[in-house]
């Protein structure tokens, strides 16, 4: 096994720089591209990145990259790659695929050809006469083609990295944990400052804030596909988990509050926080936005309110934003960050944002409106 491998941390559009910053903080040298961050790292990075990356969607191990414009070329270049370095004789390796602006546009054909090429390579290298048994651990393989450039990779994460393991229940339009973490990391909030989410829903943003505030690895309480891989020794995972435990700051005091108008969502948020082991770190309250009370002089309001995507909800949402603006006008030292697709947000809020950033919440194009408070 090579000392270093090539890894890809996939990213939601607009969050590449945030993911890259996380990768760099872990000690690796990232290069940002559309929808992904690529970097060279030791094998141990597979465990460390899966545990620590808060804003990446998943982590992939690159087996090879090359140009291909014909199926024969795809087959031959796939077959020459050293798959046996990663896949043992009994490996199960389902192949998924995607193709964009490529000569090889038939994804099912590409999947089938890559599968056949890997089988041929492994049969020869492992000395198997018949088809591979595929009775062992799963090494989910992907063929991704962009403008005739083929990337062949193994998914090390399994479930997406947004699945932290603490969400027992959720509302109708839950915010991904990875995006929630990104919203926080795009601010200057520090753990010793007050943090309020007046639209907390199932509690994702306040829970992610608590994890960040105490430097708790987001993947600490879940499992990853690569834990079952033969070349990923148990000791590697043990060291990564030990590092995460050592770096956690459980003694860091936090002032984090989540409120919502829906009492049912407050109950769900509390359950999720308890599942995350953060039950005593976040305060939950059923409350309307107009009743929001900020007792300290400085702090951060960060929220993902309803967007009013349905016509009948637009008046309600506009009123909600107006109420928030009225409350925050009384607290100019507080910074406010709001994610919404509502085009007239600044008008109804009553002030132009200091800064805006385009982000995607799933397939919904949104703006992240940022108002920087004047600290006192």
State residue 1's pLDDT score: 57
Q: Is the pLDDT of residue 309 over 80?
A: no
State residue 312's pLDDT score: 65
Q: Do domains 4-155 and 177-216+253-371 have the same CATH topology?
A: no
Tell me how crowded residue 51 is: count the other CB atoms within 10 A of its CB.
Answer: 20
pLDDT in tens, 325-357: 999 999 999 999 999 999 999 999 999 999 999
Q: What is the dihedral of CA 2, 16, 211, 171, to 10 degrees?
A: -120
CA distance 334 to 339: 17
DSSP 244-303: HHHH--TT----EEEEES-HHHHHHHHHHHHHTT-TTTEEEEE--GGG----SSSEEEEE
Determine the average pLDDT of the residues in 221-243.
97
3-state secondary structure of 176: coil
Number of H helices, E strands in the chain: 10, 14
Determine the average pLDDT of the residues in 82-106.
96
Whole-number average pLDDT of the chain:
95
CA distance 14 to 359: 6
State residue 331's pLDDT score: 96
Determine the average pLDDT of the residues in 41-67.
98
pLDDT in tens, 120-173: 999 998 888 778 899 999 999 999 999 999 999 999 999 999 999 999 877 776
What homologous superfamily does CATH list for 177-216+253-371? Vaccinia Virus protein VP39 (3.40.50.150)
State residue 2's pLDDT score: 58
CA distance 330 to 247: 38
CA distance 196 to 289: 11
Determine the average pLDDT of the residues in 7-35.
97
pLDDT band at 230 (very low <50, low <70, confident <90, very high): very high
Q: Where are the domains of the chain?
A: 4-155, 177-216+253-371
pLDDT band at 198 (very low <50, low <70, confident <90, very high): very high
Report which of residues 309 and 320 the model is more confident about: 320
Give me 90's structure tokens.
Answer: 């009994």
Give me 40's structure tokens.
Answer: 């060279």
Do 187 and 300 form a contact (C-beta atoms < 8 A)? yes
User: CA distances (Å), 139 to each of 107, 227, 295, 332, 341, in order?
Assistant: 19, 11, 52, 52, 38
Q: Domain 4-155 carries which CATH code? A: 3.30.2130.30
């Amino acid at each position: 096994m090579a000392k270093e491998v090539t890894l890809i941390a996939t990213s939601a559009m607009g969050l590449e720089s945030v993911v890259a910053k996380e990768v760099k903080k872990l000690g690796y040298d990232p290069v940002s591209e559309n929808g992904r961050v690529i970097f060279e790292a030791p094998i141990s990075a597979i465990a460390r990145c899966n545990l620590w990356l808060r804003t990446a969607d998943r982590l992939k191990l690159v087996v090879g990259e090359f140009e291909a414009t014909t199926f024969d070329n795809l087959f031959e270049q796939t077959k020459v790659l050293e798959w046996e370095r990663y896949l043992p004789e009994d490996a199960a390796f389902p192949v998924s695929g995607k193709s964009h602006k490529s000569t090889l546009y038939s994804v099912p054909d590409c999947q089938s050809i890559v599968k056949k090429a890997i089988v041929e390579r492994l049969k020869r290298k492992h000395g198997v006469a018949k088809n591979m048994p595929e009775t062992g651990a799963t090494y989910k393989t992907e063929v991704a083609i962009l403008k005739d450039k083929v990337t062949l990779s193994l998914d090390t994460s399994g479930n997406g990295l947004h699945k932290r393991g603490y969400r027992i229940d959720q509302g109708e339009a839950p915010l991904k944990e990875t995006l929630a973490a990104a919203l926080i990391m795009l601010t200057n909030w520090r753990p010793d400052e007050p943090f309020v989410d007046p639209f907390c829903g199932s509690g994702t943003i306040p829970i992610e804030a608590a994890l960040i505030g105490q430097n708790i690895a987001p993947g600490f309480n879940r499992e990853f596909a690569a834990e079952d891989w033969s070349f990923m020794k148990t000791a590697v995972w043990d060291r990564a988990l030990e590092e995460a435990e050592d770096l956690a700051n459980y003694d860091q005091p936090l002032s984090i509050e989540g409120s919502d108008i829906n009492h049912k969502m407050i109950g769900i948020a509390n359950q999720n926080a308890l599942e995350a082991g953060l039950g005593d770190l976040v305060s939950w309250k059923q409350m309307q936005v107009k009743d929001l009370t900020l007792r300290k002089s400085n702090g951060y309001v960060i929220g993902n309110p309803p967007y009013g995507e349905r016509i009948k909800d637009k008046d309600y949402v506009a009123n909600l934003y107006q109420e928030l603006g009225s409350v925050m006008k009384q607290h100019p030292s507080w910074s406010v960050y709001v994610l919404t697709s509502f085009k007239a947000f600044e008008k109804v809020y009553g002030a132009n944002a200091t800064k805006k950033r385009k982000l995607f919440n799933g397939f919904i194009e949104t703006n992240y409106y940022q108002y920087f408070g004047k600290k006192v």
